[in-house]
Amino acid sequence: MNYANKTILTGVKPTGTLHIGNYVGAIRPAIELGHQVNQSGRHVMFVADYHAVNAIKDAPLLAQLTKEIACAYLACGLNPNHSVFYRQSDVPELFELTTILMAYTPKGFMNKAHAYKAAVDKNIAKGEPQDAGINMGLYTYPVLMAADILAYDTDMVPVGKDQVQHVEIAADIAGSINALYDKEVLKIPTSFLTESAQVLPGTDGRKMSKSYNNVIPLFAEDNVLKKAVMGIKTDCQDINAPKNPDEILLYQIARGIAPENVVGEIKEGLEKGGMGYGTIKKMILQAITDEMAEKREKYMYYLSHFDEVEDMLQAGAVKARALAHPVLERVKDAIFNR
């Protein structure tokens, strides 16, 4: 894609301890994209801590998860000098813009929004009143997300399928403001699907997810990592039987994380027969260790020197505020006829 003069923005919600699925599906692609964009455009990447407050009221936990996400991105190669990297709660312009956008957001949009509907469906499935436990933060989630996006004249937002609708809501709100005042007050963003990001299965074969207790943690110590990898579910086919690799969970996991030559070796071993599951687990463990060892060291360093990370986040917030301020002024000029 051509990113010349384009602003690309990604937000990450700090709601759980990271696993290998988050790494291959979200962290690695976001950082790679950042490197591509930075050559010709602007890359904005932030920790969406106010979005997380809707779900997490345990303050020390939220602080810890926010730290972990920030350190993980830096450890995995995000360059804070090239990307605008900050904590959402450090940019007050976003919340002023949110208040403005509220007045232009039809309530019906919120009733149909994905995050809210998913919460309602969960309640209904449990036989509870449909709005049980749902706060206004979750209900109006897409308005804050629209402010996140619109505050920097963002052109493109790389997202997973579940977030496309939220970006469309941002585009709709911006479009109606532009129509009302008959000028381009806000830039209309578009989403693009991060389809290349594969879904990594967990140790039980379902999607790897913190909700399923089937994760291989991202920065775990060797013994914890080993236990998780050795616990990957296997079948009881004869070791010598030729197998279809696509039907073997170990192979699907290896494909997500191991280098091509190792994946090739496993594929051949399964197709021919004779390669045991224990051997494959050892190869996967080695691949994860090779991929993560240096990153884990950096991650541990950043976690224990968080004051350095805090400085980077603060410097990022200064950059973000400088970008958001003129956009906010432009909106206020339009709506108050200043």
Segment near ligand ADP (CB under 6 A); pick from 44-52, 124-132, 150-158, 205-213 = 205-213
Rg (CA), the chain: 22
Nearer to ligand TRP, 52 or 309 (CB): 52
Does residue number 208 form part of the binding site for ligand ADP (CB under 6 A)? yes
Does residue number 160 form part of the binding site for ligand ADP (CB under 6 A)? yes
Segment near ligand TRP (CB under 6 A); pick from 143-151, 253-261, 263-271, 275-283 = 143-151
Does residue number 269 form part of the binding site for ligand ADP (CB under 6 A)? no
Reduced 3-state DSSP string for the chain: CCCCCCEEEEEECCCCCCEHHHHHHHHHHHHHHHHHHHCCCEEEEEECHHHHHCCCCCHHHHHHHHHHHHHHHHHCCCCCCCEEEEEHHHCCHHHHHHHHHHCCCCHHHHHHCHHHHHHHHHHHHCCCCCCCCCCHHHHCHHHHHHHHHHCCCCCEEEECHHHHHHHHHHHHHHHHHHHHHCCCCCCCCEEEECCCCCCCECCCCCECCHHHCCCCECCCCHHHHHHHHHCCCCCCCCCCCCCCHHHCHHHHHHHHHCCHHHHHHHHHHHHHCCCCHHHHHHHHHHHHHHHHHHHHHHHHHHHHCHHHHHHHHHHHHHHHHHHHHHHHHHHHHHHCCC
209 binds, among ligand ADP, ligand TRP, none (CB under 5 to 8 A by kind): ligand ADP
- Pick the binder of ligand TRP from 3, 7, 8, 9 (CB under 6 A): 9
Does residue number 145 form part of the binding site for ligand TRP (CB under 6 A)? yes
51 binds, among ligand TRP, ligand ADP, none (CB under 5 to 8 A by kind): ligand TRP
Note the residue count of the chain. Answer: 338
Does residue number 118 form part of the binding site for ligand ADP (CB under 6 A)? no
- Pick the binder of ligand TRP from 3, 7, 13, 201 (CB under 6 A): 13
What is the C-alpha to C-alpha distance for residues 234 and 249, in angstroms, rounded to an integer? 7
Does residue number 149 form part of the binding site for ligand TRP (CB under 6 A)? yes
Q: Which residues are within 8 A (CB) of 253 and not within 5 positions of it... i.e. 6 or more apart? A: 200, 201, 216, 232, 284
Sign of CA dihedral 67, 68, 69, 75: positive
Nearer to ligand ADP, 19 or 243 (CB): 19
Write the interaction track for ligand TRP spanning residues 291-310; mark x where CB under 6 A is met and - where it is not: --------------------
- Pick the binder of ligand TRP from 24, 31, 48, 71 (CB under 6 A): 48
- Pick the binder of ligand ADP from 36, 135, 209, 237 (CB under 6 A): 209
Does residue number 45 form part of the binding site for ligand TRP (CB under 6 A)? no
- Pick the binder of ligand ADP from 6, 210, 298, 319 (CB under 6 A): 210
Does residue number 30 form part of the binding site for ligand TRP (CB under 6 A)? no
Write the interaction track for ligand TRP spanning residues 151-170; mark x where CB under 6 A is met and - where it is not: ------x-x---x-------
* Least separation in angstroms between CB 137 and ligand TRP: 12
Does residue number 21 form part of the binding site for ligand ADP (CB under 6 A)? yes
Which residues of the shown chain bind ligand TRP in the complex (CB under 6 A)?
A: 9-11, 13, 48, 51, 145, 148-149, 157, 159, 163
